[in-house]
Structure 1
Amino acid sequence: MSDEDIMLTAGDAEATVQPGNGGRVGGLRVGGLELLRQGDRFGCFPMVPWCGRTRNGEFRDGAAVHRMPLNSPPHAIHGTARDGAWRTARVSADEAVITYDLVEPWPYPGRITQVVGLTEDSLTLTMSVETYGSSFPAQIGWHPWFNRNLAGADARLDFRAAWQEERGEDHLPTGRRIEVTPGPWDDCFGMPDGVGVTVEWPGRLELTVRSPEKWVVVYDEQEAAVCVEPQTGPPNGLNTHPRLVTPLEPLEATTTWSWRRA
């Protein structure tokens, strides 16, 4: 099927899925309010086959060292799938299934499948990474850009983390876990019982990002948007917390955004 934009609807909720633009959710409107920052680079894009920064663009798999392009020098950031065109596998009124085949510079053949499901009060994103051959390390995550201001109301973030990954001068975790510091943040937090972060636009909408995964990056240093990024491991995780994709066991992850209207 084609890679043209897909519109999903459920009640007064509308989601735009953009297979041709990196498999991202390009828009999410609830009651006429657009929750995601607009633009080709924004919306919500998949971070796969790694999340955040990979140190110097290098990761090791056994004795082999692989090098990825330094698209955020001196590091490689957010995977390769957001730069490619995905294909549409199946569409209904409220669900889309899209796929992406891993290609160079990623050194391993495989397929990513993403399912986007919409209800009147939630959006669920599910992603899997399968291998066509040998096992390889990978990560899955999502990078939504939520509008900071919604109909005149500025977003407030609320979450309880068990720890914060100490961030070094190179913007990567040092390996130390520290108490949560005051924002603004471009930081990774640990939530061993699963990710739960609430974004509230007072008097407008309350949205909660949940995931069974235990890692989340919160980025709110930009004026226009706040980002809540559930993922299967911390930044540089291909080196520090690798998750293996094997012929018998794909890597799978999911996140659900649920909202309550004021």
Structure 2
Amino acid sequence: MTIPLVVGVDGSESSLEAVDWAAQEAARHEVPLRLLHATAGHHEASDVIGAALERAGKGAPSVPLSSVVLHEDAAGALVDAGRNAFALVLGSRGLGGLAGMLLGSVGLAVAAHADCPVVVVRGGVEHRGSRFGDIVVGVEDGEGSGTAVRFAFREAQVRHCRLVARHAWSPPIESPGAPGQSGFALQALRRPPAQVLADALRDPAARYPDVRVSDEVVEGPARRALLDAASGADLLVVGARRRRGHIGLQLGLVNHAVLHHAPCPVAVVPQI
């Protein structure tokens, strides 16, 4: 049986927006959609699930739907569901959440502990659809973004859109170089940033030859480079490393920044 895409619902408008996004995503990948509602109460569960099922059915009538209500902690229930899920999809804030830009504690906990990709559906309607035709993926030096790059290629393939692969870097502080030496020359003392990007893209590009790729090397903080690129994107993809000696993932400053402030949906993809 095909594993489902799982979306968390809690009755908030944000979670219904996540249902809309998840229904379209399930249709693209031809996977079933499962709606999960975790609650400590009993009386409102049927109404919450009923409204979400109706919304999903209208958005993607061909997608097989199922639902489950669990009377337990929401973050724990979602992380457990993610052990056998295509991906987990969440709204950017739940009931009682801030009306601003901050992601709630459930979203952060799920993004930090899930074994599968976690998509936090952020932004206005123009970013939650396919208006821009771009997916952005952040590429870092090392192995932390390998699975994220493959995920981003697959998304670009099914959406028939362009993939923008962006690698941000800063000159080595301990190697000032000669007066007037450019930042690129300084970075060349280590691993050239263009090489970092080329190495990360080589294998997935061969696997998905039809995907149009724009590779971009940007000097400056990674969080700013990714947030700037996300302003014209339908989806922003970032990777997350496993933490040595700890359960869960390492959600660093960059991941926290994009999860709280990105203008479009964000996919956090754990390193395999």
Taking structure 2 as the reference length, the TM-score comes to: 0.30
**In terms of Rg, which structure is larger?**
2
Higher helix share: 2
Taking structure 1 as the reference length, the TM-score comes to: 0.31
Higher strand share: 1
